[in-house]
Structure formats: C-alpha cells, structure tokens
Amino acid sequence: MDEGRLTLVRGKVDPEKADAELADAIDPRHEKTTKATGGGKSNGDAPGPSETAVRLRRAQAAQYEARAERERIDLELRRGQLVNRDLAVDAFYTLARTTRDALLNAAPAFATKAAAIKDRRKLRQLYEDTVKKALAKLSGEKLEQLLKGKYDPAE
C-alpha cells in the first residue's frame, strides 16, 4: 500500500483488503500510542476525537470562560462592588494632596504658638491638636465628597 492510498478493486474500495493493508502498514509503536490516547481506530474501538476537534473544544472553552469573566465583572460594576481604577487613583491622589496641603497650612499656626511654649508635654499637645484640627477639615462630608470625586478644596 502506498502511503495514504487505498487499492481499488474494479474502481471501488474493498473494505477487507483496505483493512488488511492498513494493518500491515501500521507501526506497532504508533498503535500503542493511539490506543493509550484514545485516538485512531483499532480492534473495533470507537474513534477518539481528532487533534483539531480537541483544539477547537479547548478554544471554545477558553472563549466561554472569558465571556463568563467579562459578564461577572460587568455585573459587579453595576452592583457597585468594583470601582473604576482611574477614578480610584484620582481620588487617592486628591486625598493625599489635600491632606498634605492641610498639614502644611497648619504648620505656620503651630509654629507661632509653639515659639512661646517651653514645656514638652504642652508642645506635643499643641502639635496633636493642630494636626487633628487640620485632618478634621477633611473628615465627614468633605471626605465623602472627595471619595465620590465631588470635593472642591477651594470651598
């Protein structure tokens, strides 16, 4: 049998002759692998899925998983369980900048009051009060506005 060719008898394929030629042409090592992997036809076994079919199924499964992941993310966004990354980064930057500005603006007031205080405990208390007052300006409603992207530090 030529490789990949069947011998025809009166223009038709003789199944018995084709099976005999195929059995003679099969490499025994190849036959063991096809039996182990479930591929090919041997000894009346059902044919296994071809490589192309297996790859197609894997690609379809990957596509299905990707679609399910996108739908899960969309659902979580609609429920408010996820936030837009760019908005979160902007809110964090604004919060950090506003906090820094509040603390830096509190420094001159602290410095003028601290110049007259010699007691360390009173100085520490003044420092804590000044920082707490500066941070209190950011708490509550202003912090909520900031996190929602609606805070205007100029107000």
92 pLDDT tier (thresholds 50, 70, 90): confident
CA–CA gap between residue 27 and residue 16 (Å, rounded): 19
CA angle 91, 94, 97 (to 5 degrees): 150
pLDDT at residue 61, rounded to an integer: 94
Place of tokens 């760019």: 86
CA–chain centroid gap for 17, Å, is 57
CA–CA gap between residue 25 and residue 75 (Å, rounded): 57
Is the pLDDT at 155 greater than 60? The verdict is no
- In 3-119, alpha helices (H): 15-25, 28-37, 51-79, 85-114
Is the pLDDT at 3 greater than 80? The verdict is no
pLDDT digits (tens, 9 = 90+) for 102-116: 888 888 888 888 888
CA–CA gap between residue 90 and residue 94 (Å, rounded): 6
Task: Please give the model's pTM, rounded to 2 decimal places.
Answer: 0.41
pLDDT digits (tens, 9 = 90+) for 13-53: 787 887 777 777 675 655 544 455 554 444 445 556 788 88
Residue 146, C-beta contacts closer than 8 angstroms, at least 6 positions apart: 91, 94, 95, 98, 138
Look up residue 6 and give its amino acid: L
141 pLDDT tier (thresholds 50, 70, 90): low
Q: Tell me the chain's radius of gyration from C-alpha atoms.
A: 39
